[in-house]
Amino acid sequence: MPKSTVKLRQPESYPESRLPPGVQRLTRPKPFGRAVELAFLRWEKRDLAATERFWRDFGMHPVSVSADRITARGIGTAPCIAVAERSAVSRFVGPAFRMSDDTDLNRYIDRFGATWLSKQQIPGGGRGVELFDPSGRSVWLVQGQQHVEALPMRPPMTLTNTAQHAPRVNRTVRTPIEPASIVRLGHVVFQTVDFATMAAWYMTVLGVIPTDVQYLADGSPNLAFCRLDLGQAPADHHTLVLVGGIEEKYEHSAYEVIDLDALGQGQQVLRAQGHSHMWGIGRHLLGSQLFDYWRDPDGFELEHYTDGDLFTADFETAYSPLDFGGIWAWGADAPASMKPRKTLRNVLKVLRLVQRKAIAPARLKLIETALGAPARPWL
């Protein structure tokens, strides 16, 4: 087909109050408490030296480094955004969320079997509990961390010249080539076999609100971009993303940088240091972030982003059909590693899921159809 006859389109989107027939709402259960920040992520790493090098080049600032543990922060006021402990095998351990002061952590002990953490376990101190989500992943809920003074950073580039408005006159754009200044940890994405159960659990435990929900051809939700409930204070489009799939898996985590130039100059540094680039620069569709994805020395995905959407708690949830085109608005095509692949490993994984009746074959087919179609037919 000649390129001139291809119809370019954006995916459909519907507010929850006006859903098409057959589309199911993602029911939001009554929350036990309210998360107000994704505090930090916990890792086990085989090579701490390689991890430290990557974190520095990526724009984190290690504040405590020993033979067995690294703690790193951004340039914002959070005392920590990442912790790695030495282990024989590298793996993602789990997230830690900062809960509102009026959240009663004792309730999680009674309802979810949570156990108290020691003050020494929590970077920045305070108190917290550990519980486990339906996949067995460790989740920490913390309160009372001592925030720290922000590190120096250059002013963000806010003077953008357009054809209609050009405020930058007799001035140039000359940003330094340096690691992208990470202000804070923004979000984390998990794949899960039982989407409905996992979504209900995190909405109950954290009080997160679905901002965008994507559904399969039968109308059932299979992906949720969830934001924090900060009342009338603006919250990121998503802090937690859950997507239904064939395994329980960390997909990626994302870190906010100060502006687009930090994103671009940070890419130069990471390329120069020989790190593995994955995808970007582009702009996401759901959330609108400008993004750039990288792999750490163990192959885990980490994202730089800037210029994301913000919403208050009363903003209505939107729904759209699940397809691969919903991932990004523009930029290079998503890498093959992000798309479902019929490898022997995945085929065996699916067979085991079906044998255990962990997921219905019909649902697997719906997921395959949704994510298997070309995201950009005109590319």
- Is residue 2 very low, low, confident or very high in pLDDT (cuts 50, 70, 90)? low
Query: Is position 156 within any domain?
Result: no
The C-alpha atoms of residue 207 and residue 40 are separated, in whole angstroms, by 18
Tell me, yes or no, whether 3 lies in a domain. Answer: no
Q: Is pLDDT at 378 greater than 70 in this prediction? A: no
In a domain, 22, yes or no: no
| Tens-place pLDDT, residues 292-304 | 999 999 999 999 9
Average pLDDT over residues 143-170: 94
pLDDT higher than threshold 80 for residue 164: yes
The whole-model pTM stands at: 0.95
219/328: higher pLDDT: 219
Distance spanning both ends of the chain, measured CA to CA: 12
Domain that includes residue 82, residue range: 28-147+178-372
Cis peptide before 281 (omega within 30 of 0): yes
Q: Is pLDDT of 4 > 70?
A: no
Residue given tokens 């036990």 in the structure block: 32
Residue 314 lies in a domain: yes
Residue 78 in any domain: the answer is yes
Partnered with residue 62 across adjacent β-strands are 72
Query: How many domains does the chain divide into?
Result: 1
Mean pLDDT of 99-103: 98
Is 349 part of a structural domain of the chain?
yes
Q: Examine residue 107 and state whether it is found in any structural domain, yes or no.
A: yes
Q: Which has the closest alpha carbon to 255: 188, 189, 304?
A: 304
Mean pLDDT of 276-290: 96
Give the model's pLDDT for residue 68. Answer: 98
Mean pLDDT, the chain, whole residue set? 94
Pairwise CA distance, residues 50 & 156, whole Å: 30
Q: What is the pLDDT of residues 185-210, one digit of tens each?
A: 999 999 999 999 999 999 999 999 99
Check which CATH number belongs to the domain holding 278 and give it. Answer: 3.10.180.10
For residues 254 and 183, the answer to whether their CB atoms sit within 8 Å is no
Please tell me the predicted confidence (pLDDT) of residue 351: 87
Element holding 372 (H helix, E strand): helix 361-372
Query: Confidence class of residue 40 from pLDDT cuts 50, 70 and 90?
Result: very high
Q: Are strands 310-311 and 318-321 parallel, antiparallel or unpaired?
A: unpaired
Residue 238 confidence class, pLDDT cut points 50, 70, 90: very high
In a domain, 346, yes or no: yes
Q: Is the pLDDT of residue 371 over 90?
A: no
User: Which amino acid, 242?
Assistant: L
| pLDDT for position 13 | 93
More confident residue, 226 or 3: 226
Nearest-angstrom CA–CA distance, 123 and 42: 11
The arithmetic mean of pLDDT across residues 342-348, rounded, is 81
Say whether pLDDT at 342 is over 80.
no
DSSP codes, 63-119: EEE-SSEEEEE-SSS-S-SEEEEE-SS-EEEEEEEEEPTT--THHHHHHH--EEPPG
